[in-house]
Structure 1
Amino acid sequence: MFKHLLVAVDGSPLSDTAYRKAIALAQPLQASITAVQVVAHYDVMRLQTAMLRETRERYMQEAYRQAEAYLSTIAQDAAAAGVSCDTACVTGDHIFQAIIDAAESRQCDLIVMASHGRRGVQALLIGSETHKVLTHTAIPVLVYR
């Protein structure tokens, strides 16, 4: 069965549910989890001005600070449940690819993530990182809604 689950999180309430369910799944399997949050690069239409440089650096620092705090909560919840948990905050232009790369590099055998359940035109316009992960990886994906 599954031995190493990658849990992709974004800090949303739905993501909270997904990581808690991943911990509950990992317990009886005696599996470990790696919680990963992807921070998108700060990019304002690729403008390269001195004023944007400081803003970019502050954005990345704050985004990583918030991600690390959130990932720490997940690690604590996993430890309380007796589940081994690593965490990683990664940066990428394409969130779905960063999730897949993280799962592959850590040799995870299941990706767990939430879906925000967008449908119809909204799904077409906004797209779905979950859908992109599903269609671009050979690793099994468990989606919570």
Structure 2
Amino acid sequence: MNELINKVKYLVSQNEIELQVNDDLQGFFSLPVFIKCYEYTDGSISETDRLIYERILKKIDVVKHLYVYYSNDLSIKSTEILLSERSTNRLALNLLHLTILKSDLKYLNSLLKMSSFKSIPLSDEITNLITDVKEWLFSKNEHN
């Protein structure tokens, strides 16, 4: 598990997000800002952040696109601008970290769906890490 966490943290250091502020969309939920603020700690996230991730997972699973700005409850996109490749990769790393720490298949399931996005593909390193985490998680579940 620690080896996988270290791989995630290394890839995070290689995937810095540059934030571009759009003054016309102040007051809306900025997905890149939320993604960048994720802390790679012991895996405890606030209830608010957990609910936001649940809504993001739903966007991945149902809409199959992620946009830069949403309404504050994430129910409506506020722009047609798709999430950048760097932000998408960073989100994948956040979800990988949560998958490892929580051993939760819902994060992995959404990651697998993200890896098939045609509009913004994940990096090869992240795709390979998703496979490693999937194998680790299924192996762990077999032994439980």
**Above 0.5 in TM-score?**
no
Higher normalized helix content (fraction of residues): 2
Structure 2 length as normaliser, TM-score?
A: 0.33
The structure, 1 or 2, with the larger RCO (C-alpha pairs under 8 Å, 6+ apart) is 1
Greater share of strand? 1
TM-score by length of 1: 0.33
